[in-house]
Amino acid sequence: MLDHKAVGIAPDLLQHKEKVLSFVLAQYQRMPDFLKLPFGILTFCFNFWGLVTGGRFFIYLSASQQKKQIQAWQSSSLKISRDFIKFYESLVIFSGCSYV
């Protein structure tokens, strides 16, 4: 579900996938309450986008398809999509590097 190729970071940074995932989820829970709902909706849209473009929810796409989708959102003209990716990317990078 979380693959280093999809996130575009060195493989050893995702050695402790479970820990990284639980950190990311916990940080989502901690974020200011007025941001949680919009982020929850965006996360749902992001997952759903995989179904529209790749025939499966994002979490079930192959690593290369996931990477494509991340890159598409990263370079989107919509700032909100870029910010969304940046948020999750920052958490994954920071926690991934912390657990190495």
Report the nearest approach of other proteins to the CB of residue 99 (Å).
8
Contact status, residue 89 vs residue 98, Cβ threshold 8 Å: no
Of 18 and 33, CB closest to other proteins: 33
Report the nearest approach of other proteins to the CB of residue 9 (Å).
7
Neighbours of 49 (CB within 10 A): 17
Per CB under 8 A, residues contacting other proteins are 8-10, 12-13, 23, 26-27, 30-35, 79, 86-87, 89-90, 93-98, 100
Of 28 and 60, CB closest to other proteins: 28
